[in-house]
Amino acid sequence: MAARSIASLTLSFGLVSIPVKLYSATDSAAGVGFNLLTPEGGRVKQQYISEATGAVVARADMKKGYEFEKGQFVVFAPEELKALEEGASHVVEIVSFVPEKSVDPLYYDKAYFIAPDKRGGKPYSLLQLAMRKSGRCALAKWSYKGKTRIVQIRPAEDGMVFQQLLFADEVRALSDLHIEQVTVSDTELKLALQIIDQVSEDAYDPTAYEDEEKKRILEAIDRKIAGKQIVSPEAPAEESGGQVIDLMEALRASLSANKDKREAPVKTAATKTPATKKTSPAEVEVLAAKPRRPVKRATPKPDVKEAPPAKVRARK
């Protein structure tokens, strides 16, 4: 399905105007959403209740106010707020070019893509190539939804990214945490670098990671739709931890553990035993549905054909 543009904009680059189309770079629909329901399964709707009287207040009767002191508000009429809004503009004015690495990712907000619109192909490619050659990105002003925003326009492999930035007062300073700087030895640093080298990759590959929570939820939804029972997943084995007494020993243990993990697939493939076999979700569900009987752990029986105990008792 072809991507749909959000808006048509014009990048103002000196005396050059570049018509572009704006596209969202993220997919909010990729998440899993749940609805709030009544005990009977019907939908519910939201209502606003007055704290003073407990009465339901209609949205049309509501006003917007700013609390300047506890319990005291200054009220703004809709037309007053409208007058304070920045007028929307389709022109994105580039105000400067800065080294791309000088923009801290902490200031990144929502990301968009921009693609050339009609007759914008050549100036678009020119700006993209010029920024890539110079190692710089563009900073621009963009008026959208009643507010002027600062955006970063940077070159990418297949086009350009239109990155909305946060303002300075929207980002906290790490220095506010007053983190104590502790001296480490050269040996400790050397071991830490070896650990980093063991688990290093050439580049970040987003496809190598998966939203495990989303996967579990979707699987549970499918089981519910199919009328099956939800089986709780096995808890992952916790690695032995606790307070680190000797940093050097912990670093050496980490090096050894990483080495074992890399060699583990080769060793375990040749030494698998029936004891390590995991029960499939379907088998767990069948076993969970059976009435439990006392089992002698010392003499486990081999694979037994599963038959409903209720039918066996009926023949007696």
Rounded mean pLDDT, 20-46: 87
Identify whether residues 111 and 255 lie together within a single domain: no
Q: Which pLDDT score is estimated for 172? A: 95
Phi-psi sector, 31: left (phi>0), alpha (psi -120 to 50), beta: beta
Identify whether residues 195 and 123 lie together within a single domain: no
| Tally of CA atoms within 13 A in the half-sphere of 122 that contains its CB | 2
CATH code at 156? 2.40.290.10
Kindly state the tokens that stand for 279. 């029960």
Kindly state the tokens that stand for 137. 């990105």
Q: How far apart are CA 180 and CA 168, in angstroms?
A: 25
Partners of 276 in the β-ladder: none
Identify whether residues 157 and 191 lie together within a single domain: no
Identify whether residues 20 and 90 lie together within a single domain: yes
Number of domains in the chain: 2
Confidence of residue 311 (pLDDT cuts 50, 70, 90): very low
pTM of the model: 0.65
Identify whether residues 90 and 159 lie together within a single domain: yes
Comparing 276 with 212, the larger pLDDT belongs to 212
281 within some domain: no
Identify whether residues 188 and 253 lie together within a single domain: yes
pLDDT in tens, 76-129: 988 888 877 766 678 999 999 999 999 999 999 999 999 999 989 999 999 999
Identify whether residues 111 and 23 lie together within a single domain: yes
283 within some domain: no
Which stretches does DSSP call E strand in the chain?
7-13, 16-24, 48-49, 56-57, 64-69, 72-76, 91-99, 108-116, 136-144, 147-156, 159-165
Tell me which amino acid residue 32 is: V
Kindly state the tokens that stand for 18. 């570049």
Closest CA to 153 of 125, 134, 127: 127
Q: Which pLDDT score is estimated for 82? A: 80
Question: Looking at 143-147, 235-239, 290-294, which range is the least confident one?
Answer: 290-294
Range of the domain at 15: 7-28+85-167
| DSSP H helices in 139-246 | 186-198, 212-225
Tell me which amino acid residue 183 is: T
Closest CA to 255 of 211, 196, 195: 195
